[in-house]
Amino acid sequence: MKIFNDFSLKRFNTFGLNYKCDAFIEVEFAEEIYSINKMFELDKARHLIIGEGSNILLTKDFEGIVIHPVFNNLKIKTVEKNSVLIEVEAGKNWNDLVQFAVNKNLWGIENLISIPGLVGAAPIQNIGAYGQEIKDVIETVQFFDFDDALFKVYEKEKCRFDYRSSIFKQELKNRVFITSIELNLSKEPKPILDYGNVKDELKKAEIINPTIEDMSNTIAKIRKSKLPSPEEIGNAGSFFKNPIIFSSKAEEIKKNYPDLPIFKTNNSYVKIPAAWLIEKIGYKGKTKGNVATYHKQPLVLINLGNATGEEILEFANEIIVKVKQVFDILLETEVNII
């Protein structure tokens, strides 16, 4: 392990905000977390686990300990006729993992290409895009429990995966350090096309039976056209969750807004795009001081260069209030506010 005191987190949050923490610990091997927990009593001490910081908004210096995994091994555990089980450590870059699967022709996470962050964060958020979610392929999550000082393994069912959520984001929040995950990937082609403009892009390229490379390349291209790179413009991707509301409420809104996009989740509820709501209240490309919504995708809040975390949060809250006033829908943040 490596320990740094009074450490700047600017490189570890994609908004590029220059806040500090009291101590920053690089965990080089999963087993080290046991000693770190004993040394710092993490069940009592204020702590934060950060991968690449692609899903957080810091609003001030963090008075506590930040833990950062750098162990990143990947191994194939079992090979069956139609599937392959792999285990991936928490410090592995998520996009590198997707590229590995694509290169091996293993289906199940190809639509999750270009999502920033490390593997350890994926089950916490139940990351998803273009019709795929990590819960669809995950088998187990291995983690260290600070309260019990034990390494544990949860099967998929015990993780309580939900839309952009899991037990690790709810009941076990700030209590666990994820060390690795197991994914069951398919050898058989399983392209998911009915989301966004994937079909249209494939059609433009005259691709009828897309390969796994076709799928990942197409989605990477779509994402690049819509989302700014954090290396160029500070942002944390989608700042808000797409709200899930009663079907009856959506139908009421549709009377006044016939162009409302609706995606069925079950008989009673539908999901609607937060980006559509934000655009309708006039906030697409809107700027306030050092913060703005991205002109191509209003779901993304961007740091124009000198924003503080407080400014970004204030702007986000302004959007939440306005959407509530106009549509009586309460937007929830996908980004974790620290």
* Segment 302-333, tens digit of pLDDT: 999 999 999 999 999 999 999 999 999 999 99
33 belongs to a structural domain: yes
- Do both 78 and 176 map to the same domain? yes
41: DSSP letter: T
Give the global pTM. 0.91
pLDDT by residue, tens only, the chain of 338 residues: 999 999 999 999 999 999 999 999 999 999 999 999 999 999 899 999 999 999 999 999 999 999 999 999 999 999 999 999 999 999 999 999 999 999 999 999 999 999 999 999 999 999 999 999 999 999 999 999 999 999 999 999 999 999 899 999 999 999 999 999 999 999 999 999 988 789 999 999 999 999 999 999 999 999 999 899 998 999 999 999 999 999 999 999 999 999 999 988 877 999 999 999 999 999 999 999 999 999 999 999 999 999 999 999 999 999 999 999 999 999 999 999 99
* Cα 338 from Cα 322, distance rounded (Å): 23
- Do both 260 and 303 map to the same domain? yes
**Edge to edge, what strands does the sheet with 74-79 contain?**
74-79, 83-89, 176-186, 138-145, 150-155
pLDDT digits (tens, 9 = 90+) for 85-114: 999 999 999 999 999 999 999 999 999 999
148 belongs to a structural domain: yes
The answer to whether residues 244 and 265 touch, using CB atoms and an 8 Å cutoff, is yes
Contacts of 337 (CB under 8 A, 6+ apart): 56, 57, 59, 313
The answer to whether residues 74 and 101 touch, using CB atoms and an 8 Å cutoff, is no
What is the enclosing helix (H) or strand (E) of 63?
A: strand 62-69
Residue 52 structural domain: 2-69
60 belongs to a structural domain: yes
The answer to whether residues 22 and 63 touch, using CB atoms and an 8 Å cutoff, is yes
- Do both 98 and 131 map to the same domain? yes
CATH number of the domain within which 144 lies:
3.30.465.10
* AA letter at 179: T
Q: Is 281 left (phi over 0), alpha (psi -120 to 50) or beta?
A: alpha
* Cα 50 from Cα 118, distance rounded (Å): 9
163 belongs to a structural domain: yes
The answer to whether residues 198 and 206 touch, using CB atoms and an 8 Å cutoff, is no
The domain tally of the chain equals: 3
β-strands 128-129, 138-145 pairing: unpaired
**Active-site annotation, residues:** 164, 238, 334
- Do both 26 and 89 map to the same domain? no
**Cβ neighbourhood burial of 218 (10 Å; 0-12, 13-18, 19+):** buried
- Do both 314 and 280 map to the same domain? yes
211 belongs to a structural domain: no
